[in-house]
Amino acid sequence: MRRVALVAVVSGLSLLSGAGFAQEAAPTMPPAPEPGRYAFERVPDGIMRLDRQTGHVTLCGHGGSGWTCKAVADERAALENEIGRLQSEIGRLQIEIATLRKDLLARSQPPAEPKQEAKPDSKTADPVPPTANAPETPRMPTDADLERVRTFVEGIWRRLVEMMANVQREMQRKS
C-alpha cells in the first residue's frame, strides 16, 4: 500500500513540474510480493507449516513450554526411496536378462565347421584344435534315449504297485 501511495506522490510531482503534460507516462504497478519460504494454514490441532523450498510439512502448536513444531510423517520420501530401489533393481535385472539372452544365443547356434585348409606349416600350426575352445551345444535326446527312460520309469512303477499290493495284503491279514 505504501508503494502505491509513493508512486502516486511521485507521479503527482512530475505532473506538477510540467513534465507529465508533454508526454503521458504509463502507470507502473508495483511488483507482486514474492511468497515467503513458508506457507501457514490453520488446522484444528494448531498451525500447519509448509516449507516451499523443501516440501516438508510441520504441525506447530502452542504447548506448556511455548510453540513447538513437529514434522508430519512424509510418505512421499518413503515412496521415492522405494521407487529408486525398484529402478536400480530393474536396471540390474535388464543387464542380467541381456547377458542370459546373449549366452543362450551363443549356445543355440551350431558350432562353426572347421575350414579345410592346405597342410599348415609347422611354424603356423595351432596346437589346439579350433573346436576345443567352442562352447559345447546341448544335444537332443534320441529315440533310443527316450525308450531307455520309459523302460526305467515303467520298472519303477511296477515295483511301486507290487509294494502297495504287499502292504495291502499284510493289512488284511492283521485285521
Pair (69, 44) in one structural domain: yes
Q: Tell me how many domains the chain contains.
A: 3
Q: Which domain holds residue 67?
A: 36-73
pLDDT for the residue numbered 18:
47
Residue 147: inside a domain: no
Pair (25, 40) in one structural domain: no
Task: Calculate Rg over the CA atoms of the chain.
Answer: 44
pLDDT for the residue numbered 127:
55
| CA count, 13 A, side-chain hemisphere, 117 | 11
Residue 91: inside a domain: yes
Residue 51: inside a domain: yes
Evaluate whether 7 touches 30 at the Cβ level (below 8 Å). yes
Does pTM top 0.75 for this prediction? no
Residue 165: inside a domain: no
Residues 6+ apart with CB under 8 A from 34: none
Question: What are the φ/ψ torsions at residue 86 (nearest 5 degrees)?
Answer: -65, -35
Residue 64: inside a domain: yes
Give the distance between the most distant pair of CA atoms in the chain: 133
The C-alpha atoms of residue 79 and residue 102 are separated, in whole angstroms, by: 34
- Block means of pLDDT (10 residues each) for the chain, 175 residues, are 39 44 53 74 89 86 83 79 92 94 84 61 54 69 90 94 93 86
